[in-house]
Amino acid sequence: MKVKASSLAIALAVTAVSSAAWATTVRDEPITPIRPPQNINLGMAELGKKLYFDPRLSNSGFISCNSCHNLSRGGSDNLPTSIGDKWQEGPINSPTVLNSSLNVAQFWDGRAADLKEQAGGPIANPGEMAFSHVLAVGVLESIPAYVREFRQVFGMDTTIDIDQVTEAIAEFEKTLVTPNSRFDKWLMGQDDAINAIELAGYTLFKESGCVACHNGEAVGGNSFQRMGIVEPYHSTKEAEGRSAVTGKDADRFNFKVPTLRNVEMTYPYFHDGAANTLPEAVDIMGRLQLGRKFTDDENAKIVAFLKTLTGDQPSFQLPILPPSSDSTPRPKPFD
């Protein structure tokens, strides 16, 4: 397969760490460092990167995955809830795509098993990209450079289908991990990577019980938990959480625990985007999940710790999208 030497390939090579060295140097903590992505099909990821940035997968020709999961902004849109086709107000906050490959399942309620299954959702969602899989494939089929690239990646006799589209996007998303945060450097033995206040914040985070839900590589993303355990959470939004998938009343208001990686970049917080700042989110978590009111000083320490979780952001050349052909169906932004 022909693969262009891309900045992606170089980034992957530089961050590669042998697993033997890994095991011996990592501190024994409930949070583990982010590993560089493994076994990426680079040709497929490059194609997926184009699709991720291509607004022609939407009805308006204006909305791409990057519109709501902006890779210049921590993989989120920094809005309480997203804006979809025709400026529609979305029902729920857009989670970051960074490190989403580490999630136990996708979406706040986990209704998609993995990234490939997830990626088909927004294209056809009338409140998001408002297109259809058939129309999206039709657009791609009409663009000769895309046809060539799909053939390079999926085989010469291929005709483009939605499965390939979602597989390529998912492969690109697997590269969107953020290793090398200061906290990970500390986990890997570099004592001065975080300061005394940040370390005190981590100790509080651990000892007060935040790690019961926010742990592992993504500091979350690996379980569904009730929002509002000690005190109820009041939301103006209607999301019911995991019960929408399982049909069980006991799962009402259970949400996928969000990752806290890069959390300083992914405001506002919670599924309804109701908390604007980290001090506010930490205060609410302390009271509602743990029955603990943090002092301003404790809160500031935890926030300082959370900010050490910002890792290397994805860094690559912006993809140049192949131009439409004369036969490409034109976007319909206003009807």
Q: Contacts with ligand HEC in 1-60 (CB under 6 A)?
A: none
Nearer to ligand HEC, 147 or 290 (CB): 290
Nearest distance from C-beta of residue 151 to ligand HEC, angstroms = 22
In the set 122, 179, 201, 311, which binds ligand HEC (CB under 6 A)?
122
Nearer to ligand HEC, 32 or 64 (CB): 64
Rg (CA), the chain: 21
Choose the stretch contacting ligand HEC; rule: CB under 6 A; options: 19-27, 64-72, 184-192, 307-315: 64-72
Decide: is 290 part of the binding site for ligand HEC (CB under 6 A): yes
Asked if 257 contacts 265 with a C-beta cutoff of 8 angstroms, the reply is no
Q: Helices 162-174 and 42-53: crossing angle, nearest 10°?
A: 100
Nearest distance from C-beta of residue 149 to ligand HEC, angstroms = 17
Decide: is 186 part of the binding site for ligand HEC (CB under 6 A): no
d(CA 175, CA 157): 27
The helix or strand, by DSSP H or E, that contains position 255, with its residue range, turns out to be strand 254-256
Q: State whether residue 88 is helix, strand or coil.
A: strand
The torsion region of residue 319 among left (phi > 0), alpha (psi -120 to 50) and beta comes to beta
Decide: is 286 part of the binding site for ligand HEC (CB under 6 A): yes
Task: Give 83's strand partners.
Answer: 89
Q: State whether residue 329 is helix, strand or coil.
A: coil
| Residue 113 neighbours by CB under 8 Å, 6+ apart | 105, 106
Decide: is 90 part of the binding site for ligand HEC (CB under 6 A): yes
Tell me, what DSSP letter sits at residue 59? T
Choose the stretch contacting ligand HEC; rule: CB under 6 A; options: 32-40, 135-143, 267-275, 322-330: 267-275
In the set 68, 140, 168, 304, which binds ligand HEC (CB under 6 A)?
68
Q: How does strand 254-256 pair with strand 224-226?
A: antiparallel
d(CA 57, CA 139): 8
Q: State whether residue 45 is helix, strand or coil.
A: helix
Nearer to ligand HEC, 149 or 283 (CB): 283
In the set 208, 246, 313, 324, which binds ligand HEC (CB under 6 A)?
208
Nearest distance from C-beta of residue 270 to ligand HEC, angstroms = 4
Decide: is 282 part of the binding site for ligand HEC (CB under 6 A): yes
Site string for ligand HEC, 239-258 (x = CB under 6 A): ----------------xxxx
Give the DSSP letter string of 90-103.
Answer: PSS-----TTGGGS
Task: Give 255's strand partners.
Answer: 225
Clarify whether 128 is annotated catalytic: yes
Q: Which residues are catalytic?
A: 128
| Residues making contact with ligand HEC (CB under 6 A) | 63, 65, 67-69, 82, 84, 90, 92, 94-95, 97, 100, 103, 106-108, 115, 118-119, 122-123, 128-129, 169, 205, 208-210, 212-214, 225, 227, 229, 255-258, 260, 263, 266, 269-271, 281-282, 285-286, 289-290, 302
